[in-house]
Each structure stands twice: as C-alpha cells, then as structure tokens.
C-alpha cells in the first residue's frame, strides 16, 4: 500500500485499496474516477483505504458512501474535512485550504458548488446525469 508521499509522488489521481489489495487506480481528473469506481465496484464488507489527490466537499460526500477506513489526500477543503469529520472518517491531508480552488484563487470549484445542499446519493445522481450529456 502507498504512503501518502508515495501516492503524491506518483502520477495517479485516485487509488483505492480493499483488504490491502489495490482495487482501483486512475490518472483521470475531477470526480470521474470516483464515480466510475462507485458505479463499477461490487459492495464489500471490507472498509477501503482511499488515496485521492484532492478532496473537496463533493469527493468527501462520494467517499463517505464507501465508509472507508481512512482517506489520504494532498489537499482537502474545509468543507471536505467537515464532511469526513461528520461521518467520523479519519483522514490524512498534506494541506487544508478554504476551498480546493483556494490553492489558486478564493473561489469554490464547480464540484464543491454542485455538492452544496445535496446528499451523497443526490450528488451521485447529478454527476451521472452530467456524465451522460
């Protein structure tokens, strides 16, 4: 299993381990890899370990549906941290920012905006609709 630094040194955007076995990896950006994993994975009693380069509110909501053992990330937004804290999901983050875009600007990214006021299920449904267009 990766350490957070090894993951950040790689060119991967998302890696998910289940029972210490790598189940999924992607280099794609945004939420697409996470949605693909949620759509394609078989439910398991094992709690996964998630490595995601950036975790905003939207990613945190989606990840929370997996009930992971732990989330490792390079950057987490304040809202993403709040979602994980509320779900009692431990996480390790190299950096916390007001917004993910806060690294480059003082505005929320489009996914964080889309996730506001939505449950994980509502967000996933909305993302699937966006992907179908």
Pairing of strands 14-18, 49-55: antiparallel
Distance CA 66, CA 31 (A): 15
What pLDDT is attached to residue 99?
Answer: 82
Number of domains in the chain: 1
Give me the chain's average pLDDT, please: 88
Range of the structural domain that residue 39 is part of: 4-132
What pLDDT is attached to residue 133?
Answer: 53
CA distances from 30 to 18, 55, 75 (A): 22, 10, 13
Higher pLDDT, 110 or 66: 66
21 Cβ contact partners less than 8 Å away, ≥ 6 residues apart: none
What pLDDT is attached to residue 26?
Answer: 97
pTM: 0.86
- Domain with residue 25: its CATH number is 3.40.140.30
> Which tens digit of pLDDT belongs to each residue from 29-58?
889 999 999 999 877 789 999 999 999 999
Comparing 21-25, 47-51, 122-126, the range with the smallest average pLDDT is 122-126
């Amino acid at each position: 299993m990766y350490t957070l630094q090894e993951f950040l040194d790689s060119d991967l955007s998302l890696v998910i381990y289940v029972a210490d076995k790598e189940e999924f990896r992607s280099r794609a950006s945004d939420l697409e890899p996470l949605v693909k994993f949620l759509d394609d994975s078989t439910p398991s009693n094992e709690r996964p370990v998630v490595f995601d380069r950036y975790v905003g509110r939207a990613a945190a909501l989606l990840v929370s549906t997996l009930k992971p053992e732990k989330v490792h990330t390079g950057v987490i937004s304040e809202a993403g941290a709040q979602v994980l804290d509320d779900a009692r999901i431990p996480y390790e983050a190299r950096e916390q920012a007001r917004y993910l875009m806060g690294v480059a600007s003082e505005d929320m990214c489009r996914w964080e905006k889309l996730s506001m006021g939505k449950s994980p299920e509502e967000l996933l449904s909305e993302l699937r609709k966006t992907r179908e267009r």
